[in-house]
Amino acid sequence: MIDEYIKQWLTKADNDLKIVEHELDLPEKEIVKDVVCFHCQQAVEKYLKAFLIYHKAEVERTHDIEHLLDQCALIDKDFVNIEVRELSSFGVDIRYPDDFYVPDMEEVKFYYDLTKRVKGLVLTKL
C-alpha cells in the first residue's frame, strides 16, 4: 500500500510532468525547452525518490539521476540500463546563465519520453 508521504512525492512529480505537457501543447517556437527539460529532471528525480522511499531506502539530497537510478537498481534490476543522457544537468547547471544551454526538440522529446517511462516503471513497482 502506498502511504500518504509517497503519494505526495508522486503528486509533486506529476505536477512537474503536467508543466511539461502544458508546454509541449504549445506551438514549437513558443516552447521553453530548457524549462521543459528542467521539469523532466525534477519529475524523474521525484519518481525515483518515491520508489526508494517506498522500499525504505535512504534517500540522499541529490539531483543526480544516475546515482538515484543506481540506488533503485540495487532494489530492482529493471532500473538497470535506463539511458538518461544529460538529464541531471538540467536539475542544477542549466538554471543559471553561466551554463546557458537550450536543448533542441529532439532532446526535449527524449527527456519527455524518458519521464513517462520512469513514471510507468515506478508505478508498476509500488
Q: What is the distance between the alpha carbons of residues 101 and 83, in angstroms, rounded to a whole number? A: 20
Mean pLDDT of the chain, nearest integer: 94
User: Using an 8 Å Cβ cutoff, are 101 and 126 in contact?
Assistant: no
Q: Are 71 and 53 in contact (CB under 8 A)?
A: no
pLDDT, residue 104, reads 96
Q: Where are the domains of the chain?
A: 4-119
**1.10.3720.10, 1.20.120.330, 1.10.260.40, 1.10.10.10: CATH of 4-119:** 1.20.120.330
pLDDT digits (tens, 9 = 90+) for 17-68: 999 999 999 999 999 999 999 999 999 999 999 999 999 999 989 999 999 9
CA dist list (Å): 3 to 10, 53, 81, 119:
11, 10, 28, 17
pLDDT band at 75 (very low <50, low <70, confident <90, very high): very high
Residue 64's identity, in one-letter code, is D
Global confidence as pTM: 0.94
> Of all residues in the chain, what percent carry a pLDDT higher than 70?
93
Find the angle CA(110)-CA(115)-CA(121) to the nearest 5 degrees: 125
- Are the beta carbons of 34 and 94 closer than 8 angstroms? yes
